[in-house]
A and B are shown apart, each in its own frame.
Chain A
């Protein structure tokens, strides 16, 4: 099955700096790559996703890039703010008739220091 590796496990940045989180996946058939943000004690919430037919997607201060050849994708957060502090999870799935099974990475704890 699919295996998703996420790095780093923790990331500390100064407010205003950029943060980059990287994920690799094993199954070349995966074609959907969402990113979830989980604040302490809260549920994971989708912040951005990308499908395999595009290489980059942006939404204000966050962007995701995808390299299908190398089987890796990254989350970029620019101009980080203290409220960006959370655990971020990447995931990958194959959209099949059988369903939308997501395999999650291990998570990255991002700390933004004011």
Chain B
């Protein structure tokens, strides 16, 4: 398997623009996670899905952030409108169901909002 695939790898956008980050989890994995990593706050869980259903979105910072998982092989994280403080690395990760806790991360999407 190619692992968790994220796109874009790097994005520079202007404040106020919409940003869409994409993720393809490992085939057969039931759980999908979106994490944000910054120097100040470390690795933060934003939201996770189980079988395409959002289970916990309490980590989503505000209404400007939204995430969807229309099918088992695709998820998006959208920021609208983007702000400079959203600049971070956004990781998507996936894992099998309970009993197999190993979480596999994608390469990350490096977002810079200017």
A interface residues with partner B (beta carbon < 8 Å): 32, 34, 36, 42-46, 49, 89, 93, 95-107
Contact = CB atoms under 8 A, between A and B. Distances in A.
B48 A101 contact: yes
Interface string B17-61: 000000000000001000000000011010010100001100000
Interface residues of B, number: 20
Contact of B31 (A46, A100, A103): A100
Nearest to A102: B103
A99 B105 contact: no
The secondary structure that dominates the A interface is: strand
Contacts of B56: 98-99, 101
Given A100-B31, A107-B42, A44 B99 contact: no
Interface of B: 31, 42-43, 45, 48, 50, 55-56, 91, 95, 98-99, 101-108
B101 A43 contact: no
A102 B45 contact: yes
B105 A106 contact: no
A41 B45 CA distance: 19
Contacts of A49: 101-102
A42 B101 CA distance: 21
A89 B102 CA distance: 14
Contacts of A95: 98-99, 101
